[in-house]
Amino acid sequence: ELGQNDEAAVTSASGQIGFLQQLTDEKVVLRAAVERLNVRPFSVRDFQTPPMTESHALAIDRNDTFVLNYFVDALLRDTPLLQRQTAENMISMRARSILQQSNALALNTLYSLESVVRSTAPVAGRKIIFFISDGFLLDLRDSSVSDRLRRITDAAARSSVVIYTLDAQGLTSGMPDASTDVAFDPTGQLTSVNSGERSSMQDPLHTLAVNTGGRALVNTNALDLAVTRALKETSIYYLLAWKPESTGEERGRAKFRRIEVGVKARPDLKVVVRRGFYNSTPPEAPARPAPKKPQKPEASPATQKPGAVSASDKELFAALSSAYPRTMLPTSLALGYVNDVNNGMVLTASVELNREGLSLLGRPPGAVADARAKVDVAGAVIDDRGKIVSDFKQELTFPFRFIDDADRRVLYSYPFRLAPGLYQVRIATRDPVSGRTGSALRWIEIPDSKRGNLFLSSLFIGERVSARTPETIKADGVPDDVLMSVNRRFARASWLRFLVYVYNASKGTQGKPDVALQVQIFRDNQPVLTAPLSKLSTEEITDTTRLPYMAELSLATFPAGSYVLQLTAIDRSAKASASQRVSFVIE
């Protein structure tokens, strides 16, 4: 269901996902995050008999005499010399201990959910969170639980988030089975609590969804259909805006304001809306002071060497580690790898800056042609475990000539030799004159070239601005009128040129590879161009283990918008295929 312009993240309160817990449009990252999820059942139970559930403990704490007498009678049967009052006190203490564990688990879950909701605030637009849980118990008499629910509602309103909750247990009968350790109850004293336990565990799912304008998707095994419906619902919505009145008494203190919305004269219609918000950000409870540790000098992410870090470097490294790209200094990043004959798999990170975002260094009046600009660039390559495997920091100084207005870009490339695996590349830039910073990040998966299977290099795309008819294209170089693009934004009047290498194609009956290529362009996950299969020429190529292919197509027939170019190579001798995709924008 991930659309062409969508981003998603897989998160977990258990911390299993680690560094992969980030918003991305790369499905390979999302699949890797899902693979890290393992079932970690947390049962709030003790080792006493008969087994007492959270619902039993809550009922006892609420003075349910039927449930209390059941456990007291069981305790007296095992210890006949015990007085009944003492037994009641022991059972009450046992119930309170279970409730304390249950509340701690519930609060930890709610804290994690609130953190995820608030972390999405810098991302523009409406967001949807699918909260998947097998349910938990909430004791609303605990003020900290009620307060946390209101904070999540408020955070969702400020971050433009809608929460849809999914019951991971799916459709169940609500009755215990052979896998469940339950108390034997021939007298039926626990019947009322047991029958409502599943509903009680689902109550938080309903509360979170209703309070944030979503829905609770429970008691169903067709979760894929439920998710599709939720995505469709959230794609069409109304936006209501108003300015709430505040009295003098409310000023200066946070108060939760409830919202009710209805359609006048249409009682048959139901409006799904967030249930409330705080009129001002509520203060957090004071945190317990952490023990002081001896201070250590900060380390530069680019050099990983301890020592003093200047204020300018701190700003640069803050941009480098930012959860979301910084935009004050517009920075674009493109990644591409090739299998180099001498160096193996080489990844090139290309950075693009717009000259208009940079400041001029000091220069004499009238010396525009000799003006220069300077920018600090830092980069890091991080593996899927969050470990920095390579980094750099460099200061660039370059001419700033306004006479040539055809190309107002500043390009910089840095190569990395990497082992096979999944990596994230982060780039940060800083204008030392204005102090503005920018950043960008991208994921890329480096294949294992030694396995011997068919694979492709990255797709390198560029723009040819000339209007002349394309001539014969060779992959041994890029003509002067072709600009390899980093931000991948092209004019409709231009030609899109792309280059790819096909590796490890098997040799056919003629002793040469038999590889067919197909080019497709997608918009909103729908193909808008599918070119016929074309045979990859191997003439004048001595090394058939790496076959280059370059082609181009006119963009004049495509309307402005976002697209995806996909190239598929089919090894007809080995009956194998490989593909690469790259997104671009037509303006």
Tell me what pLDDT residue 469 has: 55
Which residues does 399 contact at the CB level (< 8 Å), separation at least 6?
370, 371, 372
User: What's the token pair of residue 53?
Assistant: 């559930």
Tell whether the torsion through CA atoms of 88, 90, 96 and 98 is positive or negative.
negative
As given in the structure block, the two tokens for residue 555 are: 């963009």
Listed in sequence order, the residues at least 6 apart from 229 whose beta carbon sits closer than 8 Å to its beta carbon are: none
Q: For every one of its 587 residues, what pLDDT tens digit does the chain have, with 9 covering 90 and above?
A: 777 888 899 998 888 899 999 999 999 999 999 999 887 766 677 778 888 888 899 999 989 999 999 999 999 998 988 999 999 999 999 999 999 888 888 898 899 999 999 999 988 888 999 999 888 888 877 888 888 999 999 999 989 999 999 998 887 766 665 556 667 777 778 888 888 888 888 899 999 999 999 999 888 888 888 888 888 888 888 888 887 776 655 566 778 888 888 899 998 998 888 888 887 777 665 444 444 444 443 444 444 444 557 888 899 999 999 989 998 999 999 999 999 988 899 999 999 987 777 777 655 555 555 677 889 999 999 999 999 999 999 998 877 654 344 456 778 889 999 999 999 999 999 999 889 999 999 999 999 988 889 999 999 999 887 655 555 444 444 444 445 789 999 999 999 999 999 999 998 777 889 999 999 999 988 999 999 999 998 887 888 889 999 999 999 999 999 999 999 999 999 999 999 999 999 99
CA distance 255 to 280: 7
To 10 degrees, what angle do helices 54-61 and 65-78 make?
110
What are the strands, taking DSSP E only, across 447-575?
A: 455-456, 460-464, 482-484, 489-490, 495-503, 515-523, 526-530, 534-535, 546-554, 561-571
Q: What is the pLDDT of residue 273?
A: 87
- Of residues 368, 364, 358, the one with CA closest to residue 397: 358
Give the pLDDT confidence score for residue 303 in this predicted structure: 42
Given a contact cutoff of 8 angstroms between Cβ atoms, the answer to whether 123 and 96 are in contact is no
pTM, 2 dp: 0.82
Which 8-state DSSP code applies to residue 82?
Answer: S
* Separation of alpha carbons 525 and 563, rounded Å: 9
Note the pLDDT of residue 196: 82
Q: Take residue 102 and report the two structure tokens written for it.
A: 């249950």
Q: At which residue do the structure tokens 């193996």 appear?
A: 344
Transcribe 187-225 into DSSP letters: T-TTHHHHHHHHHHHHHHHHHHHHHHT--EE-S-S-HHH
User: Phi/psi at 31 (nearest 5 deg)?
Assistant: -65, -40
Q: Are 486 and 351 in contact (CB under 8 A)?
A: yes
Close Cβ partners of 214 (under 8 Å, ≥ 6 residues apart): 128, 162, 163, 164, 165, 208, 230, 272
> Which of 100, 135, 129 has its CA nearest to residue 114?
129
Domains, in order of start, for the chain? 1-40 (no CATH), 44-234 (no CATH), 310-448 (2.60.40.10), 452-587 (2.60.40.3880)
Torsion, Cα 367 370 374 377, to 10 degrees, reads 150
Residues constituting the chain = 587
Residues in Cβ contact with 88 at an 8 Å cutoff, skipping those fewer than 6 apart: 68, 72
- 430 forms beta bridges with 376, 437
Q: Which residue has the tokens 């953190």?
A: 115
Write down the residue that tokens 């998160």 correspond to.
Answer: 11
Nearest in space to 276 (alpha carbons), one of 424, 117, 157, 103 = 157
